Amino acid sequence: MEESLLQSNTPLENQINNLSNQEAADLIRKKIEGKITKFPQYFWSCENGRERAILAIKILVEEYLKIDKQEVIFKIRRRHFKDAGLESLFRSHFSNSLSVAIQVVYPNNYPADEISKYSRIRRSAELIPKEQAHKMIIDLIHNRINRLPLFFWTCSKGRERLAFAIRYFFEEYKRWTIEDIPKKAQLRIFNEVGLQTPIDKLFNCKYFDAIDYAYPGVFQEKQFKYLSKKHQGERLFLLYRQKLES
């Protein structure tokens, strides 16, 4: 394609503008996959550049990141576009704003007044329906997503979400019985599925308190051999050391 562009007598900007949607999509996929280092000149700035930018966002979000349209605002980050080599599209379109881009690309899912509230105030976490929040937690535990944003946990519904996460993790993911839980629960297993940070934030690193919230009155702290004060003290020390080194 690049050779044919160079050999044509048509001005380069017109050639780029006249690329078919399929040709533009192929270039976008090649950039995401690292098969080309940069887009041709005028790719974003030509007359059809905005449509290309919309196409690029849909390809990245839906084909490569496989994010559900209903969850885009909660999961997509600017770094995803940077990692894919697509960040330059924001400089040409959408007022250099990710939230504006999402509203333009998915207008039926995210009306303008709501997208502003989501992106600036971060109260969006409280608006996630219970079923959808549970699906996001299950995706996290099964490692289908790397992490959930901190405000997902620190909003007013955070403790209930964490309680569901702990119960699902023990009963569905690990397939533990109630009797198994105090015998097998260890600090490191929470880190493996992305639950360590929310427990640290919501329960001040007190892992038994988090479990007790999920299973009120079911267990006593002394039953948890690997969640003793000694083990939790080691966890606090590690956190303190990480802060000193950061």
Domain ranges of the chain: 2-121, 127-245
Residue 6 has pLDDT above 50, yes or no: no
User: Residue 163: what pLDDT?
Assistant: 97
The residue ranking higher by pLDDT, 210 or 148, is: 210
**Residues 19-27: what's their mean pLDDT?**
94
| pLDDT band (50, 70, 90) for residue 158 | very high
Q: What is the tens place of the pLDDT at every residue in 71-123?
A: 887 788 888 999 999 998 888 888 788 877 888 888 777 655 555 555 544 55
Alpha helices (H) in the chain, listed in sequence order: 2-7, 12-17, 21-32, 49-58, 72-75, 78-83, 88-92, 98-105, 112-121, 124-127, 130-141, 150-154, 158-168, 180-184, 187-192, 196-203, 207-214, 229-245
User: Residue 122: what pLDDT?
Assistant: 54
User: Residue 141: what pLDDT?
Assistant: 94
User: Residue 228: what pLDDT?
Assistant: 61
Residue 236 has pLDDT above 80, yes or no: no
Across 88-97, 99-108, 163-172, 196-205, the highest mean pLDDT is recorded for 163-172
Q: b vs e for 109-123, b when ≥16 Cβ sit within 10 Å of the residue's Cβ? A: bbeeeebeebbeeee
**Residues 196-216: what's their mean pLDDT?**
92
Residue 24 has pLDDT above 60, yes or no: yes
Residue 218 has pLDDT above 90, yes or no: yes
**Average pLDDT of the chain, as a whole number:** 83
Residue type, 99: S
The residue ranking higher by pLDDT, 124 or 194, is: 194
